[in-house]
Amino acid sequence: MNTFKDNCYRLSGWLSGLFIVAITLLLLAQIIGRLFGFIVPSAEDFAGFCLAASTFLGLAYTFREGGHIRVTLVIQRLKHGKRRAQEGVVLSLGLALSGFVAYSCCYMVFESYIYDETSYGYIPVPLWIPQLTVAIGAIALTLAVFDAWLSVIRGDSPNYMKHEDSLSLEE
């Protein structure tokens, strides 16, 4: 099961990177197009969609790898029991917040699909399509936070804490 979860988080990170590459290619096509006198229709819209996708799809992978910003100056000075309690409280709040964001994103996709909303650019795109990547990324983050929360409840250290502690030892 851990291999499956790790592969899902890794896939989310790879997809995030691919969307960043897509942004680069879109902007490059737009620059080259301007040099030769033609425009790339809706390039700004598609770059914005790719930016949202790369941001949200990268959240779970970044969380899992310990890349999110935390106030480690205080956290690492706590004793083992207090630190575990603090992690449990923070992860519970994070789970509630990320769950709410995932629910809201899924509801946004549903509403966009039901009301047949489209973008306003040269190329009308059904908005539920780019919003779907945002919802998937929010769900992946919620699962990553839930996974970390379960680790703390079981008495284990979450993955992000292992990475965090190894970074602090290098300094």
Q: Where are the domains of the chain?
A: 2-170
Of the pLDDT bands very low, low, confident and very high (cuts 50, 70, 90), residue 86 is confident
Alpha-carbon distance of 135 to 158, in angstroms, equals 24
Is the confidence at residue 22, as pLDDT, over 90? yes
Residue 50 has which token pair?
A: 């790719």
Which residues fall within 8 angstroms of residue 139, CB to CB, at 6 or more apart? 102, 105, 106
Which residues fall within 8 angstroms of residue 13, CB to CB, at 6 or more apart? 57, 58, 60, 61, 62, 65
pLDDT at res. 17: 95
Is the confidence at residue 108, as pLDDT, over 80? yes
Is the confidence at residue 165, as pLDDT, over 70? no
Of the pLDDT bands very low, low, confident and very high (cuts 50, 70, 90), residue 73 is low
Task: Work out the mean pLDDT of the chain and round it to a whole number.
Answer: 87
Alpha-carbon distance of 79 to 30, in angstroms, equals 55
Is the confidence at residue 92, as pLDDT, over 70? yes
- pTM across the whole model: 0.86
pLDDT at res. 103: 97
**C-alpha angle 90/95/97, rounded to 5°?**
95
Torsion of the alpha carbons at 29, 34, 37 and 42, rounded to the nearest 10: 60
